[in-house]
Structure formats: C-alpha cells, structure tokens
Amino acid sequence: MKTKLNGILTLFLALVVQFAIAQTVTGKVTDLAGEPVLGATVLIKGSSNATTTDFDGNYSINASNGDVLVYSFVGYEAQEIAFTGQSTINVTLKASLDTVVITAYGSQKREDLTSAVTVVGGEAIEQVPIASVDQALQGLAPGVDVSVSSGQPGRRGNVIIRGRASISGGVNPLYIIDGVPVDADTFRSINNNDIESLSILKDAAATAPYGNRAANGVILITTKRGKFNSPLKIQYRALSGFSTLVSPQFEVMNNEQYLRFSRDQLGSGFGVGLSDADIAATPNANWLDVLTRDGNTNSHEVNFTQGTDKTRSYTSLAYFNQEGVTNRSKLERFSFRTNYTNQSSDKFHYNTQLSVSYSKNDFVVDRDRSSSLFGANSGGQLDNPFIVPYLALPFLDPYNADGSINYIGTQQSGALDANGNINPDGANGFVNTPYLALNTQRFNTDRESEFKAIGTADAKWLINDKFDLGARIGLDYNNSQELNIVSPNSLRGLVSPDVTAEFKGSQTEGYIRSFVANVNPYLSYNDQFNDVHNVNASINTEYNYTNFQTAFFQAFGLNPNLPGSGSGFTDGNVDPLYIPNVGSSESELALFSAFILANYNYDNKYGLNVNLRRDGSSRFSEENRWGTFWSVGGYWNAHKEDFMQDQDLFNTLKLRASYGRVGNQAVGGFYVGLERVSNVTGYQGLPGYRPTSLVADDLVWEITKQANLGVEFGMWKDRLTGVVEIYRNQTDNLFFASPVSLSSGFATVTKNVAGLRNEGVEIGLDYKLINNDDLRWSVFVNAAFNQNEITSLAPGSEFLDQGTTALQVGESLRTFHLVEWAGVNPATGNPLYRDIDGNLTETFNEGRDKKFTGKTADPKWTGGFGTNISYKGFQLNSLFSFVTDRWRTNGSLGILEDVSLAGFANQSTSMLDAWQQPGDITDTPSIASGSTRLQLHDRYLEDASYLRLRNVTLSYSLQDNALDKIGFLKGLRVYAQGTNLVTFTKWRGFDPESTFTSSFFDYPAVRQYTFGLDITL
C-alpha cells in the first residue's frame, strides 16, 4: 500500500513539475486599431526567456505558473499579465506619447517635445541599394529637400532643410552620429543597416543646443544597440541586383541624318561629297551602348544582438559592392560595428560604440567628381563618358576589324595620321571624343581609398534619484587616400607632361586626413513635485576640436612596366618637364561651449523648454569669438484636458510653438575671421609673403532667428495621424562681398551685411485604410512649401549679377536672370528676343535686356507619398518623391543645338527642323544665324520638376507555423525591390535631379532592381 502511495505521489509530482515547466502560451499582439504589431517583445519578467511577434503579431513562448509576461514595443505602453495556466493570451497595446525621441544631447518623450522633430525609422532605409544614407532620405520627411548630382556609386546627397539659409556659406545640416559631429562626404563608409533612427531637427527649440552650427538644421543618426531582455539573435542579410541607365529624354541624329544634314544644310563637314548611296552604306554606331553597361550591387551582412536585464549589445560585419552603369565606376566597402550598453550597477551606467570601415571608390570623369587635392571637373571634359551619347559622331566605328573595342580612334576621327601613326593632338581632339572616353576608362585611374573610424563612449554616475553626473567622448577619424594615374599608354598620357616629352604620363597621390574630438561633460537634474510638476535640466560644457591635413605629390614620366610604383617615376634632374609638384596643408578648428538645457511640464499637459548656449569659435578674432544662442518653446497637450475626454474624434491633439536664435559658422573656411598671408617670391627672388584678403574687424557668424508653430493630432484611435508646421526663419549677418577702394589692393571685403528669409508650411499625414487580421493597408503623404526671399544686401551692391542668376532684394536666391527668348522670326530665320520693355527684337543685348524670370533653381514644393499593404506574410511598400517649380538651364541640350559645333560633333534631331526659307514656322533658327548657346537667354531654361517612383518593395515573411516546423529559424524574409523605376518630368535629358543650376553631361541617376534575403536564427 505504501509503495502504491509513493508511486501515485511521484506521478503527481512529475505532472506538477511538467505543468510548471513546459506549458506553451500562444497569442497575438495588436494595437488599438486591431493591426498586428510586428516585432513586439514578449518576455518572462526577471528572466532571459523572450520571443518576438511575427508579421501577423503572433507569438509562442513557454511559461510557468506564477510567471509574469511582459509585452512591449517601441511607441506603445508596456503591458504585464500574470500567467495562471492560460493556453492563449491575446494582448492589445496602446500607442503611447511616451515614445522616446532622440533629441539634442539626450532624448525626450514624444508628448514632452516642444520642437519640430521628424523621426525616420531605420527600417525605411535598410537594404536599399543606396550607399549614402543622406540620399536614402529623399521623400521621407517634410521640409527636407534631398537632391543628388551624380549616379556615381557612393556619391553623397545634398540635403537642405527649410530652404537655403546662406548666400555664400554652408547650407547643409549638421550631422551627428551617436553624439559625434561627422562630415557627410564620408557617408559612403557607413552601413545603412546599422542605423536605428534619424531625428531631423528643424526649428530653434530643437537645434539651439548646437548653437553656432544649427542654422541649417541638425540630423541625429542613432545606431542600433540591441534590446534589453532579449535572447541572442543572429541575422544574415543578403542583397543582389542590377542597374540600368534611364532612357534619355532627347534624340540625336543617326549617321544618315547627320551626314545628310552636314551635306544639305550645313554645307560642310563629313557629309560633303557623299552620295545618297554612300550615306546609306555607312554603318551606324550606338555609342551609348558601348560606353555604358548594366551595373550591379551585392551586399552581405551578419549581425548579432542580445540583451539581459542589465546589458545589451549589437555587432555587425558587412560587405557592400556596387558597380555603376559605366566602366570604372565602382564602390567597394567593408564595415564593422559594435555597440554595448551596461547598466549592471545601480550607480554607474555606460555605453560604447565603435564603427570601423574601409571603402574604395573608383571614379569616371564626371561633373560632380570633385577633390580637395585634384580640383573639380566641369563636365565638359572630352573623356567624360556621359558627353559621348550627346556628341559622338554616329558613323565612327567603335570596333576594330577583328571585332575588339577600338581604344585609340581612326584617321577619320583625327587620332591617326596618314601613315597610321597616333597623332597626339588629334587623339585628344573633339572628333575623337568617344574613343578618348573609352581610352581613359581603360587605361587611367581615379580612385579614393578611405579608412574611417567613429568611436564614442558615454557614462554617467547616478548620484541620487535626482542628479546624474556624466560625460560623452567621441572621436571621428578619417583618412582618404587619392590616386590619379594618367598612364603613358593612354591618349591623355601622350600629352602629359608635354607632347614633346620623351617619357609620358603622370601620377598624383595624396591624402586627406581629418580628426575630430568631441568632449561633453554634464550635470543633469530630474525631479517631480506634488505629482504634477516635472522638471529636468542639465548644465553642459563641450569642446570640439578638428584637425585637417592634406599632402600630395605629382610625378611625371612613368615607366609603363611599373604602373603605380614610385620606382617608375622619371627623375626631375633629367629634364625640367619631370620636376614633381608637391604640397601640403594643415588646418585646425576649435569650438568651446557652455550651455543649459531645461524642461518643465505641468501634469504632462503644459510644457516649457528653454535652451541657452554660449559658443566661442577659433574661426574669428578674439574680439568677435563669442556668441550667445538660445530658444524657448512650449506645448499644450489639449487631449488631456477634461473637456476632451467625452469625445471620440481626437485621441491626440497637441499644439506647440517655439522661437530662438541660432548660428552658422560654416562660412569661408577655418580662418575666415583672421588675417591670413600666403607665400610669394619677392625682390631678387627672395621668399616673402602677402595678405590673401581683407578681413572686416567685426566679422562674426551668420545669425538666424526662427519661429515655428506646430499641430500634432491623432484621430479615430490613431487611424489618421498627422502634423502641420508653419515657420518663418530670418537670417541676418550674412557673409557678403562688399566693395572697397581699390587702393587697398582688393576689390571687396567680406562683411556681415546681407539678409534673407525662408518661410513655409509642412504637412505629414498617415491614414490606415484597412485593418483586419489578414489585410492591412495604409497610405502616407508629406509635403512642404518654402518661399525664399533676399531681404538685404551690402550698401552699394543692391544688385549682383552672377551670370545666369542674380541677387536682388525681394528676389529669391538662385533666381534666373536672363534675356527672354521669343523664338524664330519666320521671315528671316533669325532668333527673336524680347527687350526689357517687352518688344520683339533680333538684336541680343545682354546688358540692356536681362531681367528676372521668377524661376529659381530651388523648388517651391517638395515631398513624398506612398502606401504600405500587407496580406498575411506578403507586404508591398512604395514611395514616390516629388519636387515642383524647380528650374535649370539645359547646357547639355544647348551643345546639341550649337551649329558652330556641327562640323565635328553630333546634333539634336531638332536641328533637322532648322529654318530654311521665309514662312517656315520652327523653334530652331537658321543655320546661317550662328550659335546662340553662350548667350544668356532663357531658351534652355527648363522645368526640372519631377515625380519619381523612388522605391517599391514586394516581400514575403515566413509565418510562425512554418518556422515552427523548421525549428531552428526565427525569421525568413525574401523580397524584390525597384529603385528610381519611373520618372515623370518635362526635362529634356537623362535626369532632372541635380544640385547644379545647369546641366552639363552629368552622371544620371540609375534605375535599380534588387533581390534580397534576411535569415534570422
């Protein structure tokens, strides 16, 4: 009997233990609108046992009686539920204004913000085949105009927030990565997949903590750090695809059209003397196909995340390779990141972040290709591959008799003389353009190799429950090595260093080395009084030091058997032609600051924010070194008022306002406010020096006063959410060249005399159309309008002609100032213009008839819109971006319609419609009227507005039931995406998008198709 009783008790105990240990809980996590929450964490409180929800919000976890399940997700209030044996627990998370937003020198709850901050989540830019993160922002945030001037892999975007705030100074925002100021030119070295979020700070309340660097806005980039209380997660991500050149919106002549035009209309050139049969027998070359190719993109990454209740970490290792749509255009990058957070001590917390990357960028001759060492291209270089589709003569054969590519040229193109020998001058001439471009791609080198390291450490000591003492230290080191080789075997090498030189070619090497150190100690205070008065404040100091070094040499006469080697240089003692060029420079910049940040709110209904900063910059003289910057902002969370509790329309309604004073020190170089001298050869060849410019005694940074009003709302349980902003930014003390007496030795001196204003409206809306268990569909839109106006210029310089644009009080920056083109006179075939009084004339008079066109190179409207649709495991995401009322002069098309070049360069098919006899109605003047391309008229001023399908992605994520069957997988996602698929525009060229006011054979944006795989273990 005793034995039986013991057996029964043992069995009962085993069942109890099994029940306590091995019970599985399943369920679904949704929001208030019933939409599944993907990626929510489900955690057994006090343990490392955790899981995340799948695409449909489903989860599964083992729990024991007495456990507490914690459900959490960013942007939602956490919820705890005691486990008492339930097999299913479904949870609804409530969206929270307690969402933490990264702000200047810290973070704030969303409901406590008084400022205009747009947050772009890292998921919006992950696995996008764009190497520079600033480019990926296009269309994602209101008031942020992102434009790109080159399709070269790795090129940075140009970001303007709420309009240009300077005439001659910097106009791009300050970029901060994990607390360290960085240069956007090095974004190609950063892995987009490492980014957790981007906070775009737009008004004074948000940016004033950065003082004299804040006038153009601030973009805070926060990298991933893992999650507390999360198990080890290993993820492999792969992306592969190809890119193609977009179709040009212009048409050039084929060989038959060109030769007939040359013979019948031009009366000179290659077509003269040819019969119709000769012309018909001439082969037609497609030089666009020869100079371009399909590019490709390949990316591989593995990352690890994990966390306990006290620590968390994120580590990634990635490889990225992208080849452009023309030969030698390429970016290759290796990157490593590790971030770690430790809060194991109740009194001491610390974080470390380290990013190391190496990239290698190969360039073609491109207008946007600029270098601190080698200068900048104009786009008009004959070895620019994107000049070839415009100008290459269509009857020149790209191939040799054996079918191989001809990299030299022909007698007809001027590259070979009558004996078949290379003619150096002719080989580098206009007619030989297509062969020259091919030859430069084949034999010459233009490369940048960059090593970049960003490291940060921040720690704080929790003195008590009110005071923290902490410090942040950040370092940014960048070493860029540049290599330019003009091979002695190349056509360019034939005339380098000189056509008469015995030994040919040149090699230029240099480095650009920058080091930035940032130290920010602080004391913070956080307290609550009577349960309703909430106060937090901090006292800070900051020291930012920048060291910038360059050095280069240029050697001549290369040994073709020792390419790239210094042992192959010809000694300068052999001939003065081979004497090398050398140079170096070093610049230093320091900024010391002290500032106070303070926030107060009453019961989270009414809030006040005050920032005060004092900056001292080494850019300016000791008398003008210091400046004060500040802001004040307030908010009202109206939805928390008692009178709002009985309505169902608004679940969130917030009004806020801010005003402040910020600065821009990015003007005129590191020593703009200091007297500078340069080397000069003096009397009898002795070394001397001379002043390089005049400096005004009272020169200081530019100042912008910013006012902002904002409304944030959520309606119908956040089915519709949105934000509306109105702003007015007045910038004064603008740097401007003011005339001085020529007796000073200079014509102008830079002073703080000009002013301009930007004012506008921004709107962002997100609406959930359908929300049910299977189908979810939302749409979003953001749009911004900005009006720019010059309010003052230097006395005596109320008007300044800048060529195609001009400056004048009352006009916008970059407004075109041209003579009005009025077409072609049907009676004479001559160009027609309108004079300053609006009368028709055939006489072009630039000095008398130029006038403001009302058209600017900066858009009035920018924005983006798209949709997100998900059905079970499938998801479709799309993003359109647009700009309107942006204008550019089409210099590329002007070349194609320049009759003075028609004898040795291809022409637009529009030239076939040139006026020939009285009564002809046409847009193209007679051949005899000559070239008008270099005249400053608006014939080629074109609307560069566009609507672009920026990105569309179709993906499928494996569901929980399938993952359970596989067992070892936590997630599997496959996707296909297209980038820049369609562009709607009136622009006649490859691409309307650019930062330049004109086009001149730019490297266009490309159309990309990529496919990817994400595996999570």
Q: Considering only CA atoms, which of 102, 111, 65 is closest in space to residue 712? A: 111
Give the C-alpha distances (Å, rounded to integers) separating 189 from 128, 300, 454, 512, 530: 15, 15, 11, 15, 50
Distance of alpha carbon 509 from alpha carbon 854, whole angstroms: 45
Query: How would you classify residue 413: left for phi > 0, otherwise alpha for psi between -120 and 50, otherwise beta?
Result: alpha
Report pTM.
Answer: 0.89
Segment holding 291, helix H or strand E: helix 287-291
Q: Do 790 and 812 touch, CB atoms closer than 8 A?
A: yes
SS3 call for 22? helix
SS3 call for 942? strand
Which of the four pLDDT bands, split at 50, 70 and 90, describes residue 15?
A: very low
- Condensed to tens digits (0 to 9), the pLDDT of residues 547-604 reads 999 999 999 999 988 888 888 899 988 888 889 999 999 999 999 999 999 999 999 8
Residues 6+ apart with CB under 8 A from 790: 167, 754, 755, 756, 807, 808, 809, 810, 811, 812, 813
Identity at 735, one-letter amino acid code: F
- pLDDT surpasses 50 at 491: yes
Distance of alpha carbon 167 from alpha carbon 813, whole angstroms: 7
Identity at 418, one-letter amino acid code: A
Q: Do 130 and 950 touch, CB atoms closer than 8 A?
A: no
Q: What tokens appear for 263 in the block?
A: 């013979």
- For residues 106 and 141, membership in a common domain is answered with yes
CA quadruple 781, 763, 108, 546: dihedral, nearest 10: 90
Q: Do 687 and 731 touch, CB atoms closer than 8 A?
A: no
* Number of helical (H) and strand (E) elements in the chain, helices listed first: 11, 53
Q: What tokens appear for 373 in the block?
A: 């060492």
- pLDDT surpasses 80 at 4: no
- For residues 123 and 196, membership in a common domain is answered with yes
Confidence at residue 376, expressed as pLDDT on a 0 to 100 scale: 65
SS3 call for 276? helix
- pLDDT surpasses 80 at 99: no
Q: Which of 442-456, 522-536, 662-676 has the lowest mean pLDDT?
A: 662-676
Confidence at residue 374, expressed as pLDDT on a 0 to 100 scale: 64
Residue 177 lies in a domain: yes
Residue 319 lies in a domain: no
Spell out a b/e string for 755-776, using b for 16 or more CB atoms within 10 Å of the CB, else e. bbbbbbbbbbbbbbeebeeeeb
- What integer is the mean pLDDT of 763-789? 93
Confidence at residue 454, expressed as pLDDT on a 0 to 100 scale: 95
Q: Do 387 and 1002 touch, CB atoms closer than 8 A?
A: no
- Condensed to tens digits (0 to 9), the pLDDT of residues 664-712 reads 988 878 888 777 777 777 766 778 777 777 788 888 889 999 999 999 9
Q: Do 804 and 792 touch, CB atoms closer than 8 A?
A: no
Q: Considering only CA atoms, which of 601, 639, 594, 641 is closest in space to residue 616? A: 594
Give me the number of domains the chain comprises.
4
Spell out a b/e string for 716-746, using b for 16 or more CB atoms within 10 Å of the CB, else e. ebbbebbbebebbbbbbbbbbbbeeeeeeee
Residue 686 lies in a domain: no
Confidence at residue 11, expressed as pLDDT on a 0 to 100 scale: 44
Residue positions counted in the chain = 1017
Which of the four pLDDT bands, split at 50, 70 and 90, describes residue 782?
A: very high
Q: Considering only CA atoms, which of 819, 781, 814 is closest in space to residue 885? A: 814
Residues 6+ apart with CB under 8 A from 813: 164, 167, 756, 788, 790, 807, 856, 858
Residue 59 lies in a domain: yes
Which of the four pLDDT bands, split at 50, 70 and 90, describes residue 1?
A: very low
SS3 call for 921? coil
- What integer is the mean pLDDT of 455-459? 95
Beta-bridge partners for 24 = 62
Q: What tokens appear for 536 in the block?
A: 């937090």
- What integer is the mean pLDDT of 870-890? 94
Confidence at residue 55, expressed as pLDDT on a 0 to 100 scale: 65
User: What single DSSP character describes residue 981?
Assistant: -
Residue 256 lies in a domain: yes
User: Sign of the C-alpha dihedral, residues 866, 871, 872, 873?
Assistant: negative
Looking at per-residue pLDDT, the higher value among 808 and 995 belongs to 808
Backbone dihedral angles phi then psi of residue 838, each to the nearest 5 degrees: 90, 10
Residues 6+ apart with CB under 8 A from 442: 327, 405, 407, 490
Identity at 557, one-letter amino acid code: G
Distance of alpha carbon 42 from alpha carbon 63, whole angstroms: 11
- For residues 123 and 188, membership in a common domain is answered with yes
> Between β-strands 626-637 and 117-121, what pairing exists: parallel, antiparallel or unpaired?
unpaired
Residue 433 lies in a domain: yes
- For residues 126 and 185, membership in a common domain is answered with yes
- pLDDT surpasses 60 at 87: yes
The DSSP secondary structure of 28-62, one letter per residue, reads EEEETTS-B-TT-EEEETTSS-EEE--TTSEEEEE
- For residues 106 and 84, membership in a common domain is answered with no
Residue 525 lies in a domain: no
Q: Considering only CA atoms, which of 772, 650, 761, 809 is closest in space to residue 714? A: 650
- For residues 115 and 223, membership in a common domain is answered with yes
CATH number of the domain that residue 71 is part of: 2.60.40.1120
- For residues 137 and 59, membership in a common domain is answered with no
Q: What tokens appear for 106 in the block?
A: 């810290």
Break the chain down into helix, strand, coil percent, rounded to 5.
15, 50, 35
Q: Do 53 and 38 touch, CB atoms closer than 8 A?
A: yes
- What integer is the mean pLDDT of 421-445? 93
- For residues 32 and 143, membership in a common domain is answered with no
* Domain end (from 408, 428, 443): 443
Confidence at residue 573, expressed as pLDDT on a 0 to 100 scale: 86
Which of the four pLDDT bands, split at 50, 70 and 90, describes residue 14?
A: very low
Q: Considering only CA atoms, which of 495, 492, 398, 483 is closest in space to residue 445? A: 483
Confidence at residue 20, expressed as pLDDT on a 0 to 100 scale: 45
Which of the four pLDDT bands, split at 50, 70 and 90, describes residue 1007?
A: very high
Report the percent of the chain where pLDDT is more than 90.
64
Q: Do 859 and 852 touch, CB atoms closer than 8 A?
A: no
User: Sign of the C-alpha dihedral, residues 89, 92, 93, 94?
Assistant: negative
Q: What tokens appear for 910 in the block?
A: 């529009």
Confidence at residue 19, expressed as pLDDT on a 0 to 100 scale: 41
Cα of first residue to Cα of last residue in the chain, in angstroms, is 52
- Condensed to tens digits (0 to 9), the pLDDT of residues 246-259 reads 888 889 999 999 99
- What integer is the mean pLDDT of 482-503? 92
Segment holding 152, helix H or strand E: none
Residue 957 lies in a domain: no
Average pLDDT, the chain: 89
Q: Considering only CA atoms, which of 174, 891, 894, 195 is closest in space to residue 544? A: 174
- pLDDT surpasses 60 at 514: yes
Residues 6+ apart with CB under 8 A from 755: 730, 731, 732, 733, 734, 790, 791, 792
Q: Which of 184-198, 232-246, 479-493, 871-885 has the lowest mean pLDDT?
A: 184-198
Confidence at residue 6, expressed as pLDDT on a 0 to 100 scale: 52
Distance of alpha carbon 579 from alpha carbon 654, whole angstroms: 69
> Between β-strands 174-177 and 218-223, what pairing exists: parallel, antiparallel or unpaired?
parallel
Residues 6+ apart with CB under 8 A from 788: 163, 164, 756, 757, 758, 812, 813, 856, 858
Distance of alpha carbon 295 from alpha carbon 30, whole angstroms: 42
Q: Do 252 and 906 touch, CB atoms closer than 8 A?
A: yes
The range of the structural domain enclosing residue 253 comes to 246-277+899-932
Confidence at residue 219, expressed as pLDDT on a 0 to 100 scale: 94
Place of tokens 């001027």: 414
Confidence at residue 962, expressed as pLDDT on a 0 to 100 scale: 82
- For residues 404 and 369, membership in a common domain is answered with yes
- For residues 251 and 273, membership in a common domain is answered with yes
- Condensed to tens digits (0 to 9), the pLDDT of residues 375-395 reads 666 667 888 899 888 899 999
Distance of alpha carbon 704 from alpha carbon 698, whole angstroms: 18
Distance of alpha carbon 850 from alpha carbon 818, whole angstroms: 5
Report the percent of the chain where pLDDT is more than 70.
95
- What integer is the mean pLDDT of 300-304? 96
Q: Which of 28-32, 159-163, 505-509, 643-647 has the lowest mean pLDDT?
A: 28-32
Place of tokens 């987009």: 192
Distance of alpha carbon 149 from alpha carbon 135, whole angstroms: 11
Distance of alpha carbon 299 from alpha carbon 1012, whole angstroms: 9
- What integer is the mean pLDDT of 287-316? 93
- What integer is the mean pLDDT of 302-313? 93
- What integer is the mean pLDDT of 751-761? 93
Distance of alpha carbon 256 from alpha carbon 262, whole angstroms: 10
CATH number of the domain that residue 114 is part of: 2.170.130.10
- For residues 108 and 217, membership in a common domain is answered with yes
Q: Do 32 and 717 touch, CB atoms closer than 8 A?
A: yes
Burial of 835 (0-12, 13-18, 19+ CB in 10 A): middle
Backbone dihedral angles phi then psi of residue 4, each to the nearest 5 degrees: -60, -40
User: Sign of the C-alpha dihedral, residues 986, 991, 992, 996?
Assistant: negative
Distance of alpha carbon 284 from alpha carbon 275, whole angstroms: 16
Distance of alpha carbon 393 from alpha carbon 6, whole angstroms: 101
Q: What tokens appear for 443 in the block?
A: 């034999």
- For residues 164 and 61, membership in a common domain is answered with no
Confidence at residue 96, expressed as pLDDT on a 0 to 100 scale: 60
Beta-bridge partners for 222 = 197
* Domain end (from 62, 92, 122): 92
* Domain end (from 443, 459, 488): 443
- pLDDT surpasses 70 at 241: yes
Q: Do 111 and 97 touch, CB atoms closer than 8 A?
A: yes
Confidence at residue 13, expressed as pLDDT on a 0 to 100 scale: 43
